[in-house]
Structure 1
Amino acid sequence: MTPVSRDPREPREPDHRRLICHIIFKLDYGGLENGVVNLINWMPTERYRHAILCLSHATDFKERIRRPAVPIIEIGKQTGKDPAAYARVYRALRQLRPWLVHTRNLPAIDMLVPARLAGVRRLVHSEHGLDAVELEGRHQRYNRLRRLSRLLVGHYITMSADLKQWLNAEVGIPPRDLSVVYNGVDIERFAPGARPRHLLPSGFAPDDALVIGTIGRLEPVKDQVTLAQALVGLLQAHPELSRRVRLLVVGDGALRAPMQAVLAAAGFQDHAWLPGFRDDIPDLYRCMDLFVLPSRREGISNTLLEAMASGLPVVATRVGGNPELVLEGVTGDLVPAADPAALARSLHGNLTDPTRLAAHGRAGRDRAVAVFSQAAMIGGYTRVYDALA
């Protein structure tokens, strides 16, 4: 068990604010982790302070936490069964003595037991989205674990109304114990601005390029391979677009090689740039003309919100919480998941209609500002925490 501290100075006086300990699998690049960091950075500090307990480990993503003295503890849980990890979680919580423990997603839900044994009486669990092994949310063993959690959890939070309905219908969580708290987006950091096309590799894109972009973990549930297939289909059907259209894929993971293979097989490998994870995300959004989210399942996508706040038109799959964000025909398009042909048709319709691109981008920015603000997200979490006081 390894403690990680961003600020080694200890407060000289006892801190009587209530401590909330967020238990997550790991602190790495991802939507769930981004939401935790945003909550810690944005929540007023008068009543609550925070700690993060990582079942696996913390990466340099922890540097995005701007609040001082936020304890980050790495449990170092081994892959597969690791009974000793429960004891390490118990000892960490006995040391921290949090007022409330907030577990997030299935990998953390069984840590509710050591939390209760450690004397924590207020327990909250969040569902942020389903992964590739349970796209439909009907995995019997996983849902049995969620049902058992009702013996301990005081309240559940979901990132979308779609997830709330699923927890009620499939798992049996009563509506009174469920709240929807949408992710919030920093509308000042993610905002329209001048295009820093100098960030793109030299010779990659002409001055009049149309850049399709996506950001996220390259994993099967995100399905960026379908985006690569759609790009190939678009350029093969409309070769006149080949000179201008480029693909920017920010992130890394298991789908990097399959994406590159799809593009290379069609001879379009030079039309895509895959720079891996980056810290200049707001500027990279401004390099794009159209944002695409090809996921097979989503809760509420942070990257979709960030793209909308950046003034980008969007194309997303009609899954999970995406229809709660995207107003079809107003802020962007919704297409079926895992359908490269449908995605290619949407790309063509957008890229050949500058008026449509501009109108959807403006409407998306307005919607992000009006509905998905930081204040709304912080207010939602605070109401749940306050109600458990």
Structure 2
Amino acid sequence: MNILHVVNVSFVLPYYLGKQIEYFQSKGDKIFIACSFSKELVDFCESKNVPFLPIPVVRGINPLMDIYALFKLFFFVRKHNISVVVGHTPKGGLLGMLVGSICGIKRKFYFRHGLMFETSRGFKRFILFQIERFTGFLADKVICVSSSILKNSNILKLSESHKNILLNCGTCNGIDALEKFNPDLANQDQVYQLRISLGIAENDFVVGFVGRLVNDKGISELVDAWKLLIKDFSKVKLLLVGPFEIRDGLSEACVRFIRDEISIIHIDYTNDPAVYYRLMNLFILPSYREGFPTVVLEASAMRLPVITTRKTGCVDSIIEDITGTFCEIEPRSICGAISKFISDKSKIESFGNFGRKRVLEDFSQEVIWNDLFKVYHS
């Protein structure tokens, strides 16, 4: 089959697809990608030997850009005889399902990576909700990336229940816990040198976060919790790995504190977070919403205990008191959850071991790819 993936930004390609491309190519399928243009898009597609179409997939509502992108997609689908269209994220999903419907394609799949309207208000929430429902209406199948996304899709009737499916235990691409996120394969010299360069002492307790530094991720509350924590603990570091973003951006005061506070270390975007997980003793994701937070599974694969929330997606990412613990998105709750691990480190090893075991058993990439191959070819 000729399979076209429509995504909004190239940043997500290693997470949504990655080695999945080689798996499908080995089965005889041909992969195509349509995405907003960037150097990363060109480099990724050339490295995977994947034909691509650069189009403006803008996040907001932009009729002229969207119509232009739709026309480009239409001719691309016709030219390459596309038989399967896969849409990712609300805008990529909408454009993908629209062009698939216009071209009469019978295999249209929408990956529901999250529910953006959950953290929106007023008219914006209404519009996002209706787009989600319309995209679900056009799709032949809606692949929900977590059990809570599946549950909410059915409760809110975002698409007909018979369309909504879950791949094994969730995620869109599984986790490479054998090679990429395997703590036993870490380069110890590299880890040591990185620790020295960042000023992290051997006896520092490092709390880590990986992801975009935005309000939806609970970063403001995490920073306020850190202000409380450093009053009681001195040998602690907060390692934030990810870029600041303008959209849903943090307040100037919050950004300033992150940059000025000596116990906080900020690393911008990296395509190799594995080495940073090796510096951490504890991982935290105090997010307001997720689809399925793969960073939690990456951390678990690296034998880290996890603190997260009971919000959509996050609630599926740990087993409470076995691989991690939950907190409220509130500074004192976050501070209290971190403090328990610092004061009593007895559960850190067991949580980490069970977390890695769970990732290997339930979220291996091969299991997800096999399920996905069956869905596309059914």
TM, length-normalised to structure 1:
0.84
Gap change, CA 1:353 and 1:251, over 3 Å in 2: same
CA distance in 2: counterparts of 1:21 and 1:137, whole angstroms: 33
**More off after superposition, 37-46 vs 256-265:** 256-265
CA contact (8 A) 2:31 2:51 kept: yes
CA distance in 1: counterparts of 2:224 and 2:29, whole angstroms: 47
Which ranges of structure 1 fall in alignment gaps of 5 or more residues? 1-17
Q: How many residues align?
A: 361
Which residue identity does 1:330 align to in structure 2?
I
More helix by share: 2
What is residue 317 of structure 2 aligned with on the other side? 325
Q: RMSD of the TM alignment (CA)?
A: 2.7
CA distance in 1: counterparts of 2:54 and 2:318, whole angstroms: 37
CA distance in 2: counterparts of 1:296 and 1:276, whole angstroms: 22
What is residue 8 of structure 1 aligned with on the other side? none
What is residue 103 of structure 1 aligned with on the other side? 87
1:298 equivalent among 290, 303, 313: 290
Gap change, CA 1:209 and 1:179, over 3 Å in 2: same
What is residue 225 of structure 1 aligned with on the other side? 220
CA distance in 1: counterparts of 2:316 and 2:228, whole angstroms: 28
Gap change, CA 1:84 and 1:250, over 3 Å in 2: same
1:216 equivalent among 211, 216, 226: 211
What is residue 166 of structure 2 aligned with on the other side? 180
What is residue 249 of structure 1 aligned with on the other side? 240
CA contact (8 A) 2:21 2:31 kept: yes
The CA deviation string for residues 37-93 of structure 1, in whole angstroms up to 9 with x for no partner, is: 243244462242211111x22442664569642112111356622222221221222
What is residue 115 of structure 2 aligned with on the other side? 130
Shift in Å, 1:383: 2.2
CA distance in 2: counterparts of 1:33 and 1:144, whole angstroms: 29
What is residue 81 of structure 1 aligned with on the other side? 63
Gap change, CA 1:228 and 1:59, over 3 Å in 2: farther
The CA deviation string for residues 281-340 of structure 1, in whole angstroms up to 9 with x for no partner, is: 11111111111111110111111111000111111111112222211111111112x211
Q: Name the % identity.
A: 23
Shift in Å, 1:350: 0.6
**More off after superposition, 102-111 vs 311-320:** 102-111
1:60 equivalent among 29, 32, 40: 40
The CA deviation string for residues 91-119 of structure 1, in whole angstroms up to 9 with x for no partner, is: 22222221100111211233222232234
CA distance in 1: counterparts of 2:91 and 2:198, whole angstroms: 43
Shift in Å, 1:278: 1.5
CA distance in 2: counterparts of 1:114 and 1:268, whole angstroms: 48
What is residue 2 of structure 2 aligned with on the other side? 19
Which residue identity does 1:81 align to in structure 2?
P
Which residue identity does 2:29 align to in structure 1?
Y
CA distance in 1: counterparts of 2:258 and 2:50, whole angstroms: 49
What is residue 348 of structure 1 aligned with on the other side? 339
The CA deviation string for residues 149-196 of structure 1, in whole angstroms up to 9 with x for no partner, is: 455321110001111111112135233211112221101220224651
1:287 equivalent among 279, 302, 323: 279
CA distance in 2: counterparts of 1:45 and 1:215, whole angstroms: 32
- Secondary structure of 1:202's partner? helix
What is residue 102 of structure 2 aligned with on the other side? 117
1:204 aligns with 2:185: no
Which residue identity does 1:288 align to in structure 2?
M
Shift in Å, 1:136: 7.6
CA distance in 1: counterparts of 2:258 and 2:5, whole angstroms: 45
What is residue 5 of structure 1 aligned with on the other side? none
CA distance in 2: counterparts of 1:267 and 1:342, whole angstroms: 24
CA distance in 2: counterparts of 1:311 and 1:259, whole angstroms: 33
1:50 aligns with 2:13: no
CA distance in 2: counterparts of 1:284 and 1:62, whole angstroms: 26
